[in-house]
Structure 1
Amino acid sequence: MAGSSPFGAQRYSTRPPPRLRVAPNPSGGGGGELTRCVPLRRIHRVAAISYAEYRAMRRFPALDGLRAIAAVIVVAFHFGGPKWDWVSGWVGVQLFFVLSGFLITTLMLREEESRGRVSLRSFYIRRIFRILPVYLVVLAATYALAHLNGGGGRVRESMPYYLLMVNEFAPNSAFLHSWTIAIEWKFYLVWPLLAFALVRTAFLRRIAVTLLVIAGLVALIPFEKDWPYWPIHYVSILVGCLLAIVMHHPKGYALFRPLTRPVVSLAVLVGFVAVHLSLQYWPPAADGHSELRVAVYAVAVAFLLPAMLTPGIPTKVLSWRPLVFVGERSYSLYLVQYLAMTTVIALVPSYAGHSTRLFVGTTVVGLLAADLLYRWVEQPMIGVGRHLSGHGKAAPTPTPTTPTPTPTPDLPVLTPSGDRR
């Protein structure tokens, strides 16, 4: 409206007026709904991320940092001993699960919107070449090392479980920690069929289906058991899926948009850390696990992820290059941790009786091995998968099982830069 301004007049004696940036409607509506101007020097401090800005994002830079922290605390849980119980590393895999559900579902929703449908063939090819090459290499190395140490029989006994991806039911062996990969693998097989082949484009219908599946899985959980029954892990993944579905819709995104204000996002991060550290004080189970804590933690992660979209202090910290380095290699680090531990003890036998040194040594050796796997196995095989799936060469995909889409000219690429463990 020429000749008038809703912002009123401002006078500046010696300094020029601040640069103004048009900020979107607080409701999180479309990019054309403009209601106010905010000084550019304040925009990163006060402004929430609009729906249009969220949909345009090609990277979620804080996710690699989250993945790095999750991987390291898992190693601390396995090898750090009682001194490291306070980090509650056992729950780190739940962070991976929620991330996987959120990223995979977001990628498929954007592909569906861009192309009209999700190519299941391309999806499965990319998943196969994303997950299996490193998995099989580490499995073979685990068997070889166990055989040299006289324990090959146990790994051989469990091999059918590992090859069929039902690791969670395998007898105890040096590769038992790979149960998480089996959980995600079965999720990748079923979820695209359920949410994108049988239920197409309907927002409320997808919400209803996801909630029904979550309710069904919760009903299967034997709460009287000390160890959480396997359905609870699928609940964590589905919490991430539900978050992605809600945030993909303008009205759904508006519910989470306040969390993207930098000040609020910092408060959310502090609250999440408090929840994480409080897990050790929850009613204990015999082995340190409980279904209730897993469910609460998954919901806490779901609130954390939207808060990590804003370019504030939390995102800057989690995007620190060393954290990104570890996060990109977290899948391989997770897989090789027991091989790394065995190597550390073989080189420095005294570390076997010192939990902190063993944890640190395992992390360092594991990262060295993970870097080699990342460069020589993960990345080349991801490229092969993209080629075979009919997609052209794209920007490098970060880490493992929290997938990254194959880029196309009309489909935004999410990177956690955006992948997993």
Structure 2
Amino acid sequence: MKSQNLRYIPQVDQLRFLAALLVFAFHFFHSYKGGWAPLPQYPWFGIVSEGHTGVSLFFVLSGFIFMVIATQGEGIAYRSFLRNRLLRIAPLFLAVFLLAIAIHRDRFVATDLLYVFVTNIGDPPTSWHFVTGPAWSISVEFTFYLVFPFLAEFTRRLGAAYLLKLLALMLVVKLGAYFASENSKLMLYSTLVGRFDQFLIGMLAGLLFVLRSAWLELRGRLICLVGVVLTVVAVGLQARHASYFLPEQKQPFWILWGTIEALCWALVIVGFTGGRMSFGARADRFLAQGGTWSFSIYMWHALIIFIALQLFGSIGGVGPAALVLNFVLVLAATLAFAWLSFTVIEQPFLSLRGRYVEPAGKN
């Protein structure tokens, strides 16, 4: 998505589309076939059966792109930054939140409005039904936005070492939270405590992209390939030994999993962007356009999957061919609805955004 604060990097939008597709495939598969159960016997399929890894890609990408933007000037204008973030996220997020409380109007109480700020903890209306469930991650994302301008400023003054120290600090914090929490797996999965290191690793990847651009241009394709292989293998191991759907609420694997996952995706990001990967002009434009719609895809795909199942069930049966057919049809419907949502909800507010990077020499 084009910004007034940075030259356009189409590969970032393409990766956003990949993240949205992973989450779509994850929810589609379990809705139609997987039954929200672990599949340790198919670790090679983990990138789909544990496709929630697409959320991690979104988080790492956020840290990456904002750190790249922050290097373009001498600082971030805090109020302007938050205004841009609200214009980017709030309209669609509030639309989904209003849908959630409308669906469950008889359960709703006035204090549930406070869950607008924390849809990732407690018992928020958006988590009462699969249709609006994806909204949980937006609260994690926005909490990161609240502190990012400070993180960027401290990194500008102290260098990458500051982020590395924060990562070390967070490891100890996560360890303590793991022992203290009764459901540590869910805590590490759905809160900033469990996800903060993913944003930090994204910021480190952004610094690498800016400071080693010539080096990445020569080696980016290889780095991306290595990152893809490591990601698929790592998610496969997670599917085999520590699936999110296992009944155990405390899995030590998850203390480090978010960090490992983020490091793998960071390799993909710096390799793909730094190596200026391309699939051809038409494919690049299509993938970038999908990235432009990625927020709407992410927020609405569960609604479309649910409607399709209610209206048609699994067209053609339950075999592999039918699964592929339904995937194509539901994905096409999701993309069409995402385009509509982007056009009428997101785009008008996006046109109101402005610059928030303070130019060099201002201070």
TM-score when scaled to structure 1? Answer: 0.66
What one-letter code is carried by the residue in structure 1 that aligns with 2:232? L
Q: CA deviation at 1:104?
A: 1.1
Going from structure 1 to structure 2, the CA distance change for 1:65 and 1:335 (only over 3 Å counts) comes to same
Q: CA deviation at 1:245?
A: 3.6
Going from structure 1 to structure 2, the CA distance change for 1:311 and 1:200 (only over 3 Å counts) comes to closer
Going from structure 1 to structure 2, the CA distance change for 1:246 and 1:85 (only over 3 Å counts) comes to closer
SS at match of 2:8: coil
**Which position in structure 2 is the counterpart of 1:106?**
68
SS at match of 2:241: coil
**Which position in structure 2 is the counterpart of 1:363?**
331
Q: Does structure 1 residue 327 correspond to structure 2 residue 291?
A: yes
**Which position in structure 1 is the counterpart of 2:76?**
118
Q: Does structure 1 residue 345 correspond to structure 2 residue 304?
A: no
**Which position in structure 2 is the counterpart of 1:162?**
115
Task: Determine if contact 2:224/2:269 at 8 Å carries over to the other structure.
Answer: no
2:111, 2:299 → 1: CA distance? 16
1:385, 1:266 → 2: CA distance? 34
Deviations 1:281-340 (A, max 9, x none): 345225258343331221122223232235655465896222122111010111112221
| Aligned 1:172-187 pairs, distance under 5 A | 172-174=127-129, 175-187=132-144
Q: CA deviation at 1:357?
A: 5.3
**Which position in structure 1 is the counterpart of 2:222?**
267
| Aligned 1:117-266 pairs, distance under 5 A | 117-144=75-102, 146=103, 151-153=104-106, 159-160=112-113, 162-171=115-124, 172-174=127-129, 175-196=132-153, 199=154, 201-202=156-157, 205-222=158-175, 225-227=184-186, 229=188, 230=191, 231-248=193-210, 253-254=211-212, 257-261=214-218, 264-266=219-221
Q: Does structure 1 residue 381 correspond to structure 2 residue 343?
A: no
Q: CA deviation at 1:65?
A: 1.4
**Which position in structure 2 is the counterpart of 1:58?**
7
What one-letter code is carried by the residue in structure 2 that aligns with 1:63? V
Q: CA deviation at 1:381?
A: 0.4
1:160, 1:166 → 2: CA distance? 10
Q: Does structure 1 residue 281 correspond to structure 2 residue 233?
A: no
Going from structure 1 to structure 2, the CA distance change for 1:57 and 1:166 (only over 3 Å counts) comes to closer
Deviations 1:158-190 (A, max 9, x none): 943531234243354123321211111000011
2:142, 2:122 → 1: CA distance? 14
What one-letter code is carried by the residue in structure 2 that aligns with 1:348? F
Deviations 1:201-247 (A, max 9, x none): 41xx1433322322222212245744461323111011111232455
1:297, 1:92 → 2: CA distance? 10
Task: Determine if contact 2:224/2:270 at 8 Å carries over to the other structure.
Answer: no
1:98, 1:318 → 2: CA distance? 27
Task: Determine if contact 1:329/1:371 at 8 Å carries over to the other structure.
Answer: yes
2:272, 2:197 → 1: CA distance? 22
SS at match of 2:71: helix
Deviations 1:239-289 (A, max 9, x none): 1112324554xxxx24x743321xx32222222221222121345225258
Structure 1 or 2: more helix by fraction: 2
Q: CA deviation at 1:102?
A: 1.0
Q: CA deviation at 1:143?
A: 3.5
Q: Which one of 28, 45, 53 corresponds to residue 79 of structure 1? A: 28
Task: Determine if contact 1:239/1:298 at 8 Å carries over to the other structure.
Answer: yes
Q: CA deviation at 1:72?
A: 0.9
What one-letter code is carried by the residue in structure 2 that aligns with 1:321? R
Unaligned runs of 5+ in 2: 35-41, 246-252
Task: Determine if contact 2:278/2:284 at 8 Å carries over to the other structure.
Answer: no
TM-score when scaled to structure 2? Answer: 0.75
1:170, 1:351 → 2: CA distance? 34
1:156, 1:348 → 2: CA distance? 34
Task: Determine if contact 1:128/1:385 at 8 Å carries over to the other structure.
Answer: no
Moved more, 73-82 or 163-172: 163-172
Higher relative contact order (CA 8 A, sep 6+): 2
What one-letter code is carried by the residue in structure 2 that aligns with 1:379? Q
Q: CA deviation at 1:157?
A: 8.6
SS at match of 1:240: helix
Deviations 1:357-386 (A, max 9, x none): 554444222222211121122111012233
Unaligned runs of 5+ in 1: 1-55, 392-404, 412-421
Task: Determine if contact 1:257/1:306 at 8 Å carries over to the other structure.
Answer: no
2:275, 2:8 → 1: CA distance? 12
Paired-residue identity, %: 25
What one-letter code is carried by the residue in structure 1 that aligns with 2:286? P
Q: Does structure 1 residue 298 correspond to structure 2 residue 262?
A: yes
Going from structure 1 to structure 2, the CA distance change for 1:156 and 1:315 (only over 3 Å counts) comes to farther
Going from structure 1 to structure 2, the CA distance change for 1:286 and 1:267 (only over 3 Å counts) comes to closer
SS at match of 2:225: helix
Task: Determine if contact 1:74/1:92 at 8 Å carries over to the other structure.
Answer: yes
Going from structure 1 to structure 2, the CA distance change for 1:285 and 1:226 (only over 3 Å counts) comes to farther
Q: How many residues align?
A: 317
SS at match of 2:353: helix
Deviations 1:76-102 (A, max 9, x none): 111213496443412111111111001
Going from structure 1 to structure 2, the CA distance change for 1:246 and 1:306 (only over 3 Å counts) comes to closer
